[in-house]
Amino acid sequence: MVCAISLALYNYFKLNLTFKEQEIDTLNKIGQILKELYTQGDIYREEIKKNDLKKEIFEDRKFFTLIHGDFSGIQRFIHLISSKYAMKTLKGRSFFFGVLTENFAKYIVDQLELTQANIIFAGGGHFYIIAHYSDDLKLQLSEISIKINKLFIEQFNSNLYLALDYIPLSLKDLVYNVSEKWEEVNKKTSIKKREKFSDIIKREKDAYFPKIFGPIEGSAKKLQRCSICNSFGTLEIMPDSDEYWCIMCKSFKELTDDLRFSKFYRDIQFDSVKSYNTILNEFEKAISLEENVETNQKEWYSINNLSLKNCLGDKQFPIAFPLNEFSFIKSNEELATQAYQRTGFNKLGILKMDVDSLGKVFQKGLGKNSTISRVSTLSSSLTLFFEGYVPKLIQSEFSDSVYLIFSGGDDLFAVGSWDKLIDFSFRLYRDFRRFTAFNPDISLSAGIVLESPNFPIIKASLSAETELDRAKHFEKFTGNINTKNKISLFGFVIKWDWN
């Protein structure tokens, strides 16, 4: 965190001050203020208020900015797809979405001449960056956002959108007000999400309006669309099926297949082989996955495997598949059959789960000193649970029956044999309560639905979402007591500790 703040300050002075003496003087004052605040606390805050120069440096001068990137359309991108072969691409899509989130954050810090330390958090469809303040920042971010969103229009049929915005921060904001500022920048990005692609339309209406809203040229001749993502473009018929898939969806299926056995991961600068990398190539980035690495292991991250000591480090990815005897991901039919053999009931379970009132946890849960490090530690701890612990739990105890499609930020989506999926949800709830030291204000809610194995996953996912919503709003909120913290199961909303 110190590195991120120092670098942001360095860039601020580089862009905003002409005289070196002025910079040294200001830096000395900042150092003195922070030291005294650390040793004297609130008493020194009163002193700052009485001194005009200190007040100006501490409260008024905006040295920093908090940048927020917020994706919309994640559900549509990852799993709201209607093909009967949807399951074959889901994990690849959700994995790639995580990779995109991280790489776009890295691209922005590269462009702003900052480091990865400036990325405070990236996961679950968001990223936050601490940067310097400059007059050009608005334009720089606008250009980046247009570049990314044009790509989403072209490659993902306008399904994904990145809202990118920032707010200026003073030293005081960094030390005392981060929760408030976090919320403020969230509001700015949510306004952008309501008018998505408007910046592109304003600038290049003729080229992009038809791509987003139609009509597509030639549609009268009944153009063929991709069975998975509905896009036009180059399509290929899939072997053993009657469906046409676009190159990108085919590539997500290959990525899903690769993820079954990949043990090593690294960032590279260019790759023309994997179609999904062509998207990252636009930002001078790409990824590489390998099952075995014989030499130079130090250049690779291990994937969810802390025992590989020679690597650069370990990357936690939310990957957990139930594989059959032929090492293929089990189909919905196989998962339902397993449940049938145990229970006599041939159904697939679909689970949606997320943390209750997370906004309030961030706003009020950190007390009056919501420093940047406290906020980022809270975010990272939740990520550790959803991206690190959840796949670990499935791999160790539910590996034959639960398919983790998405887990990150503060929520989760999984399918599996219905009986085991229920066990998994209760186990996960119990472990989350332990992880949060049984704090009554940090809880989880869940919605589970049971469907026939050939029921479209797109509809099952929406039903599970509705049940999750019912669980959260079953009890009317009347005060400060947590009224969420429930699961909807078999159409009934119950408390987790009902027995």
Q: Which residues bind Zn ion (CB under 5 A)?
A: 226, 228-229, 246, 249
Cα radius of gyration rounded to whole Å, the chain: 24
**Shortest approach of Zn ion to residue 230 CB, angstroms?**
7
**Shortest approach of Zn ion to residue 58 CB, angstroms?**
52
Which C-beta is closer to Zn ion: that of 249 or that of 414?
249
Which C-beta is closer to Zn ion: that of 247 or that of 494?
247
Which C-beta is closer to Zn ion: that of 228 or that of 351?
228
Do the Cβ atoms of 494 and 486 come closer than 8 Å? yes
**Shortest approach of Zn ion to residue 68 CB, angstroms?**
29
* Helix intervals (H) in 41-119: 42-50, 52-55, 74-78, 87-111
C-alpha pair distances (Å), 175 with each of 33, 41, 122, 334, 361: 11, 11, 21, 54, 18
**Shortest approach of Zn ion to residue 91 CB, angstroms?**
16
**Shortest approach of Zn ion to residue 157 CB, angstroms?**
8
Which C-beta is closer to Zn ion: that of 250 or that of 486?
250
Taking alpha carbons only, the member of 87, 83, 457, 414 closest to residue 252 is 87
**Shortest approach of Zn ion to residue 262 CB, angstroms?**
23
Which C-beta is closer to Zn ion: that of 144 or that of 235?
235
Cα separation, 89 vs 353, whole angstroms = 21
Task: Return the SS3 of 161.
Answer: strand
Cα separation, 102 vs 105, whole angstroms = 5
Which C-beta is closer to Zn ion: that of 97 or that of 424?
97
Residues shown for the chain: 499
**Shortest approach of Zn ion to residue 423 CB, angstroms?**
35
**Environment class of residue 309 by beta-carbon count within 10 Å: exposed (0-12), middle (13-18) or buried (19+)?**
exposed
Cα separation, 484 vs 237, whole angstroms = 46
Which C-beta is closer to Zn ion: that of 86 or that of 489?
86
Q: Which residues contact 248 (CB under 8 A, 6 or more apart)?
A: 155, 156, 229, 231, 275, 276
**Shortest approach of Zn ion to residue 123 CB, angstroms?**
25
**Shortest approach of Zn ion to residue 413 CB, angstroms?**
20
**Shortest approach of Zn ion to residue 281 CB, angstroms?**
19
Which C-beta is closer to Zn ion: that of 227 or that of 379?
227
Q: How far is CA 71 from the centre of its chain?
A: 8
Cis peptide before 215 (omega within 30 of 0): yes
**Shortest approach of Zn ion to residue 218 CB, angstroms?**
18
Cα separation, 411 vs 354, whole angstroms = 4
Do the Cβ atoms of 101 and 125 come closer than 8 Å? yes
Which C-beta is closer to Zn ion: that of 155 or that of 436?
155
* Phi and psi torsions of 312, nearest 5°: -60, -30
Do the Cβ atoms of 176 and 59 come closer than 8 Å? no
Which C-beta is closer to Zn ion: that of 244 or that of 435?
244
Do the Cβ atoms of 386 and 313 come closer than 8 Å? no
Structure tokens at 350: 């679909």
Which C-beta is closer to Zn ion: that of 112 or that of 228?
228
Strands (E) across 282-393 are located at 286-290, 301-303, 313-315, 348-355
Cα separation, 107 vs 112, whole angstroms = 9
Do the Cβ atoms of 406 and 94 come closer than 8 Å? yes
Do the Cβ atoms of 141 and 166 come closer than 8 Å? yes
**Shortest approach of Zn ion to residue 321 CB, angstroms?**
22
Which C-beta is closer to Zn ion: that of 153 or that of 228?
228
Strands (E) across 332-388 are located at 348-355
Structure tokens at 250: 């085919």
